[in-house]
């Protein structure tokens, strides 16, 4: 049986540590990604967003696509995460690549197999990177607005899909669907979660009353 390159280079115990470190890198991007946050992300509205007549579609992939279609178009992901935190029927495909000579991480999020959110993150960047990114987005989406100097820029297409450019620890471009169905699925999960928490609270109160 042939060993893969990683197992040839690393003893078994160190290979396990290598995998955990690799997994930790990707999971660090989802530590704050909970059900309520995802729902708020879909609901948020921007004041005076830039408008475009071009449909917002990261990597030319339309919202609503399946994980299989994304993999068919882009290739196998670098990492895959399922059912993170309190989020059920949720999957993220991660892709690592390089753009403008910078390390980039791309995420595709799915709920019940439906593509609803994506984010492209420059893990390091310069003002030149930011300027080229802004100009590229303006050209692709035929937007005449000037937003290169803004730390947070919103764009909305004719279907209501959103694109958000944000400068923070990373330089990110987020793509958010306008489809109400993913939001409805999340709202149902939130409702069920509240029911379970309410029952658990009532049970604990009942136990307390018996002991007093």
Distance CA(52)–CA(55), nearest Å, equals 8
Asked if pLDDT for residue 35 goes beyond 90, the answer is yes
Pick 22 or 148 by higher pLDDT. Answer: 22
Q: What local confidence, expressed as pLDDT, does residue 195 receive?
A: 85
Sheet with 152-157, strands from edge to edge, namely 50-52, 152-157, 162-167, 171-176, 114-122, 102-111, 90-99, 79-82
Asked if pLDDT for residue 18 goes beyond 70, the answer is no
pLDDT-derived band of residue 150, with 50, 70 and 90 as boundaries? confident
The pTM of the full predicted model, rounded to 2 decimals, is 0.83
Distance CA(33)–CA(39), nearest Å, equals 10
Q: What local confidence, expressed as pLDDT, does residue 13 receive?
A: 46
Q: What local confidence, expressed as pLDDT, does residue 203 receive?
A: 67
Pick 124 or 210 by higher pLDDT. Answer: 124
The angle at the Cα of 172, spanning 168 to 176, to the nearest 5 degrees, equals 125
Distance CA(105)–CA(97), nearest Å, equals 6
- Domains and their CATH numbers in the chain: 1-31 (no CATH), 33-211 (3.30.1450.10)
Tabulate helix, strand, coil % of the chain (nearest 5). Answer: 40, 25, 35
């Amino acid at each position: 049986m042939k060993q893969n390159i990683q197992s040839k280079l690393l003893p078994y115990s160190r290979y396990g540590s290598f995998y955990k470190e690799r997994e930790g890198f990707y999971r660090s991007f989802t530590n704050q990604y909970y059900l309520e946050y995802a729902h708020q992300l879909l609901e948020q509205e921007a004041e005076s967003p830039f408008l475009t007549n071009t449909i917002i579609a990261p990597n030319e992939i339309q919202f609503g696509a399946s994980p299989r279609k994304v993999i068919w178009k882009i290739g196998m992901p670098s990492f895959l995460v399922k059912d993170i935190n309190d989020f059920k029927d949720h999957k993220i495909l991660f892709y690592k690549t390089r753009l403008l000579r910078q390390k980039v991480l791309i995420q595709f999020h799915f709920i019940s197999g439906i593509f609803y959110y994506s984010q492209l993150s420059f893990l390091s960047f310069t003002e030149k990177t930011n300027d080229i990114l802004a100009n590229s987005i303006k050209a692709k989406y035929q937007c005449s607005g000037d937003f290169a100097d803004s730390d947070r820029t919103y764009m909305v297409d004719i279907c209501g899909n959103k694109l958000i450019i944000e400068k923070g620890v990373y330089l990110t471009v987020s793509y958010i669907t306008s489809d109400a169905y993913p939001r409805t699925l999340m709202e149902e999960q939130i409702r069920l979660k509240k029911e379970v928490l309410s029952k658990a609270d009532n049970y604990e109160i009942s136990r307390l009353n018996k002991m007093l």
